[in-house]
Structure formats: structure tokens, C-alpha cells
Amino acid sequence: MRIVFIVILSLFPFAGLAVEPDEILSDPVLEERARVISKELRCVVCKNQDIDSSNAGVARDLRLLVRERLVTGDTNEEILAYIQARYGDFVLLKPPFKPETYLLWFAPPLLALISIIIGAMVLFKSRNRKVRCSLTASDEKEVAQILTAFGTGDNK
């Protein structure tokens, strides 16, 4: 465990906080796109953080890389694909849409659909159900007890 800790420490040769002034592009449109892309990339050495808000060295390198590629005219998708090719799907905070993640992306609409079906079923049933005056098991028991109590009373 100790070694892991040292490794983590050694990953932070520089202190800093997220995006640094010298990284920022002079073109505000490109810079805005850079921020959007950075928020979609996971910092590989941090615990569940995007590179935009991470102060790790690798995160800074990736931020600079993203901006360099933006300046050379790459699209957002090309940049994300470039980094994905080197770091894998793991690096994308927005999971790519492919067979492995179909279930993930279809889950919310599926859950919504199930909710709608359940809702419709409940409403339909509640409208059509006839009022039944059946007793629950415990009610039956109670009634039986009362009846026997009265029964014994009658016999006296």
C-alpha cells in the first residue's frame, strides 16, 4: 500500500489547480470547445475526476494536447477519438454508444417505459375493479374468534 501512495505522490510533480492561465487559447470559441472536451475526459490517475478540474500532471498534458489539436483544426470527435485510441473507453466520461453500452444507454428510456406501463396498468385496474368486500385472513380470524366467543355465550 505504501508504494502505491508514493506512486501517487510522484504523479504530482507540480502543484496547480485545473486549467492554468498559460493553457488558455486566445480564441474564445476554441477555448470554450476545449473546456467542453476536457470535461468529457477522465483523468487517468485521479479518482473519478475530469481533466478540466484535475491538477495532475498528465491531466495538464492532455489539456494542452486537446488545445493543440483544436488549433490545428480537429473536430471535437476527432480529438476524443485520438485520446480514446491511446487510453481506451475508460477515459471517456460520456460512454461511447456501442454494443457494450447499449444496455446503459437504453436503460433510462426502458425504465421510463416500464413506469408508464405500470402506471397504465394501475390506473386501468383501479377504474375497472369492482369493490369486493372480501376479508383479509386476519379479519377472518378475528371474526371467527368473535363468533366462537358469542357461540360459547349462547350455550350458557
Partner 1 sequence: MKRILAFAPLVIALIFGGFFLWGLNPDRDPNEIPSALISQPAPNFDLPAVEGLESPGFSRSDFDDLDKTVIVNVFASWCVPCRAEHAVLTSFVEQDGARLFGINYKDKPEDAVEWLENLGNPYERIGADFNGRAGIEWGISGVPETFIVGEDGTVIYRFVGPVVGDAQYSKFHTALLAAGAIEGQN
Partner 2 sequence: MIPELGHFALALALSLALVQSILPIVGAGKNDLRLMQSASATAYGQVVFVGLAFAALMNAFVTSDFTVLNVASNSNSLKPMIYKVAATWGSHEGSLLLWVFILTLFGASVSLFGSNLPATLKARTLSVQAWISVGFLSFMLFTSNPFDRVFPPPLDGSDLNPLLQDIGLAMHPPLLYFGYVGFSIVFSFAAAALIEGRVDAAWARWVRPWTLAAWISLTAGIGLGSWWAYYELGWGGWWFWDPVENVSFMPWLLGTALLHSAIVTEKRDAFKSWTVLLAILTFSLSLLGTFIVRSGLLTSVHAFAVDPERGVYILGLLAVSIGGSLGLYAWRAPTMEGGGLFKPISREAGLLVNNLILGAATGTVLFGTLYPLFLEAVTSDKVSVGPQFFNAAFIPMMLPLVLAMGMGPLLSWKRADLFGVLQRLKFAALLSLIASLIVWYLSERGPVLAYVSLLLAFWLMFATLREWALRIRLFETDMPTAIRRARNLPRSSYGMTIAHLGVAIVMLGMIGSSVWKSEEIAFVEPGTVLSISDFKVTFEGVERTRGPNYFADRGALRVERDGEYVTTLYPERRTYPVAQTTTTESAIRSTPAGDLYASITEPASEIAEDAGAWTLRILYEPLIGFIWLGSIMLCFGGLLSLSDRRLRVGAPKKSESRHAQAQAAE
Residue the block writes with cell 489547480? 17
Question: How far are the Cα atoms of 53, 119, 125, 139, 148 from residue 136, in angstroms, in the given order?
Answer: 59, 25, 20, 5, 18
The span from the CA of 57 to the CA of 25, in Å, is 19
What's the CA gap between 131 and 127, in Å, rounded? 10
* Residue 77 interacting with partner 2 (CB under 8 A): no
Task: Determine the interface stretch with partner 1 among 33-41, 53-61, 69-77, 142-150 (rule: CB under 8 A).
Answer: 53-61
- The values of phi and psi at residue 13, to 5°, are -65, -25
Q: Does 6 bind partner 1 (CB under 8 A)?
A: yes
Tell which positions 59-118 bind partner 1, by CB under 8 A.
Answer: 61-62, 64-65, 83-88, 90
Could you give the string, one character per residue 44-63, with x where binding to partner 2 holds by CB under 8 A and - elsewhere?
--xxxxx--x-x----x---
Min separation Cβ 154 and partner 1, Å: 40
Residue 90 in contact with residue 50, Cβ under 8 Å?
A: no
- Under rule CB under 8 A, residue 11 binds partner 2: no
| 119 lies in the binding site for partner 2 (CB under 8 A) | yes
For residue 52, the minimal CB distance to partner 2 (Å) is: 8
Query: Per DSSP, what are the bridge partners of residue 42?
Result: 50
Decide: is 93 part of the binding site for partner 2 (CB under 8 A).
yes
Nearer to partner 1, 94 or 151 (CB): 94
- In angstroms, the CA 41 to CA 63 distance is 9
Q: Which residues bind partner 1 (CB under 8 A)?
A: 3-4, 6-7, 9-11, 13, 44-45, 47, 57-58, 61-62, 64-65, 83-88, 90
